[in-house]
Amino acid sequence: MYKVFIENTSLHIVESKDFIPKDVLVIFEGDIELVKVSLFQSLKSVDNHLPIYIVSSSPESTFSKLFEDFDCIEAAGGIVKRKDSFLFIKRNGKWDIPKGKLEKGENSEVAAVREIEEECGISGHVIENMIGITYHTYEYKRKPVIKKTYWYELKYDGIKQTFPQIEEGITKVKWFKLDQISKVKKCTYLSILEVIATYFERK
């Protein structure tokens, strides 16, 4: 199964219709160009906040064909824990998890540590586990982009002070306690909500 976040909608590409929940839009496999038209018409509709499911005998193939005209970017980042607090950033007016693009020849773990250091001004944080992978789309210089992001959970024992990377649009870096995470969830993205849910379900 593939799950892609497009605007305020989640797109699911699945093999079987048996486990599709209620109150979603369903597109059945057919000519890929017709599927594309049906998909993007649905995204522009009044109900475009509903999850969309594409039923396909080959989700991997359908995923590749649907996004073949998109530029592909890989990124990495993660949730950093210090004592009983968790690190989030505010970027472009919304709460986010520090992350950034992989550099040439760089693996996702190295990139996650580096990006968190650059965006938050901390050092000495170490990866403990992987949270998961998300896909989301956006437009950059009038070109459609699909971003694959590797998410990690990290531990940090250093000082609490942080330094937001202003040139990257980051206006605030803040430590949140568990009972404050709801503030983040009220002002963030669907893909970030997914990462938060996966991370804290394990805790």
Architecture of domain 75-202: Alpha-Beta Complex (3.90)
Predicted pLDDT of residue 52:
87
Predicted pLDDT of residue 47:
56
pTM over 0.85: yes
Planar angle of CA 19, 5, 115, nearest 5 degrees: 130
Over residues 24-37, mean pLDDT: 79
- Going by C-beta distance under 8 Å and a sequence separation of 6 or more, which residues neighbour residue 81? 87, 153, 154, 155, 156
- Delimit the domains of the chain by residue range: 2-66, 75-202
Q: Are strands 9-14 and 52-55 parallel, antiparallel or unpaired?
A: parallel
Residue 177 has pLDDT above 80, yes or no: yes
Backbone phi and psi for residue 116, each to the nearest 5 degrees, phi listed first:
-65, -40
Cα separation, 196 vs 4, in Å, equals 16
Over residues 136-165, mean pLDDT: 95
Predicted pLDDT of residue 71:
95
Q: What is the mean pLDDT of the chain?
A: 92
Over residues 171-184, mean pLDDT: 97
